[in-house]
Amino acid sequence: MDLKVNNRNGGWGTLLISLGLIALMDNFTIPDWYKVPVLAAAGLIAFVFYIRTRTDWVALIPVYILWAGALITAAVLWDLVNDDVLAVAVLPVFAIPFLYTYFKDRKKWWALIPAYIFLLIALLMLCTEVLGMDDEFIALILMPGFALPFLVVYFKNQQRWWALIPAYVFLLIGLLITMDEVLRLGEEIIAPGIVGGIGLPFLYVYFRNRENWWALIPSYILLAIATMIGLLEFRLLTGLAIPSFIMLAIAVPFIFVYFHNRENKWALIPGGIIALMGLGFSLGTDFGKYLTPAVLVIAGAWMLVEVIRK
């Protein structure tokens, strides 16, 4: 193994071992002061791995984290800082080495990911714990924060349109949760809104380029589930109407495949069988007593028209 990679693994391995030992020792009644020398000693060991080459400054990241952890732990145990302020301050401290890694070598863009996560959570804690913002603002801050990196990826290279899908999902969830907290919309709207909203970007992918027919599959599944959740929440889908809806929802793609290309007659076999099962279940509902016979008459009439046309 390359010496540089070996030193990095040694530093990160030391970090993981020290954290694991601390987590294990927390199960016993031992004063928390033991954590300070453990972290400091682990940082020293990780530093030894660094000085073996002294050129791979990335190997200093675990050293920094361990020594910063030792200082922060000591500050907490000495009651030098307020807990709320400490929680906000610690995370940016851990983000610093990753930011340094990126700005020293822009090719190491991966370092922005942990740095951004640390800073985002710190911002969230600042707003809620220190500034006392209400809980309804959490989703408004957190979800757009998760969406931002994907938007950056897209606007840096607009051929990476896939990044818009997770960005849209995070923004949608943040918007709906915030609206629920502020306007008290209720789960009847939130749950189907989120599931159905996630299905819409896939529809956009399909209509943007009809060759991306695969996007119709997740879109249809999500929209069907969202519809069912909404009907269940509003008590519009009860009893035998539930299996009827499920069967008909499964049958629709097969029927669509046939009408999209009449040569795909095979699709009528599973689609027709499942649709008949769904209509059979619907006979046990008040609405289905009228709908099912009407559907059967229409289907039979359509078949006769096809025969006459041929």
What tens digit of pLDDT does each residue of 267-278 get?
888 888 888 888
Q: What is the 3-state secondary structure (H, E, C) of the chain?
A: CCHHHHHHHHHHHHHHHHHHHHHHHCCCCCCHHHHHHHHHHHHHHHHHHHHCCCCCHHHHHHHHHHHHHHHHHHHHHCCCCCHHHHHHHHHHHHHHHHHHHHHHCCCCHHHHHHHHHHHHHHHHHHHHHHCCCCCHHHHHHHHHHHHHHHHHHHHHCCCCHHHHHHHHHHHHHHHHHHHHHHHCCCHHHHHHHHHHHHHHHHHHHHHHCCCCHHHHHHHHHHHHHHHHHHHHHCCCCCCCHHHHHHHHHHHHHHHHHHHHCCCCHHHHHHHHHHHHHHHHHHCCCCCHHHHHHHHHHHHHHHHHHHHHHC
Q: Read off the tokens for 72.
A: 């922060």
Q: For residues 189 and 34, which has the higher predicted lDDT (pLDDT)?
A: 34
The span from the CA of 38 to the CA of 54, in Å, is: 24
% of residues, the chain, pLDDT over 70 = 91
49 in the same domain as 74: yes
Q: What is the mean pLDDT of residues 238-253?
A: 84
Mean pLDDT, range 41-68, rounded to an integer = 84
**Cα 86 from chain centre:** 28
| 15/21 Cα distance (integer angstroms) | 10
pLDDT for 85 equals 67
Whether the pLDDT of residue 184 is over 80: the answer is no
Domain boundary among 35, 58, 80: 80
Are both 38 and 53 inside the same structural domain? yes
Number of independent structural domains in the chain: 3
Pairwise CA distance, residues 119 & 117, whole Å: 5
Question: Is 306 among the domain residues?
Answer: yes
27 and 62 housed in the same domain: yes
Instruction: Look at residues 27, 53, 80 and tell me which one is the last residue of a structural domain.
Output: 80
Mean pLDDT to the nearest integer, 18-22: 89
The residue type found at 161 is W
| pLDDT over 70 (residue 134) | no
Per-range mean pLDDT, top range of 36-50, 93-107, 218-232, 264-278: 36-50
Q: Which of the listed residues 54, 80, 106 is the one where a domain comes to its end?
A: 80
217 and 274, same domain (yes or no): no
pLDDT(136) > 70: no
* Most confidently modeled range among 32-46, 224-238, 244-258: 32-46
Q: Is 143 among the domain residues?
A: no
Q: Choose between 233 and 40: higher pLDDT.
A: 40
pLDDT band at 41 (very low <50, low <70, confident <90, very high): very high
Contact 131, 84 (CB under 8 A): no
Q: Domain residues for 264?
A: 239-310
Does some domain include residue 103?
no
Half-sphere exposure of 1 (CA within 13 A, CB side): 8
The alpha carbon torsion through 68, 33, 13, 54 (nearest 10 deg) reads 40
- In angstroms, the Cα distances linking 224 to 135, 196, 200, 255, 269 are 31, 8, 12, 15, 22
Predicted confidence at residue 225, as pLDDT, reads: 86
Q: What is the mean pLDDT of the chain?
A: 81
**Distance between first and last Cα of the chain:** 73
**Residue 173 forms part of a structural domain:** no
160 occurs within a structural domain: no
Mean pLDDT within 223-252: 82
Q: Band of the pLDDT at 137, cuts 50, 70, 90?
A: low
Residue-level pLDDT at 287: 72
Residue 83 has pLDDT above 70, yes or no: no
Q: Between 55 and 106, whose confidence is greater?
A: 106
Domain shared by 233 and 243, yes or no: no
Mean pLDDT across 171-189: 74
Q: How many Å apart are CA 11 and CA 48, to the nearest integer? A: 9
Q: Identify the weakest region by mean pLDDT among 30-34, 119-123, 176-180, 242-246.
A: 176-180
What's the confidence (pLDDT) of residue 224? 87
Q: Average pLDDT, stretch 197-201?
A: 83
What percent of the chain has a predicted confidence (pLDDT) above 90?
A: 4
What integer is the mean pLDDT of 29-38?
86
Question: Domain for residue 249, yes or no?
Answer: yes
d(CA 290, CA 131): 59
Q: What is the distance between the alpha carbons of residues 231 and 228, in angstroms, rounded to a whole number?
A: 5
Q: Is the pLDDT of residue 250 over 70?
A: yes
Say if 94 falls within a structural domain: no
The mean pLDDT of 198-204, rounded to a whole number, is 83
Residue 109 lies in a domain: no
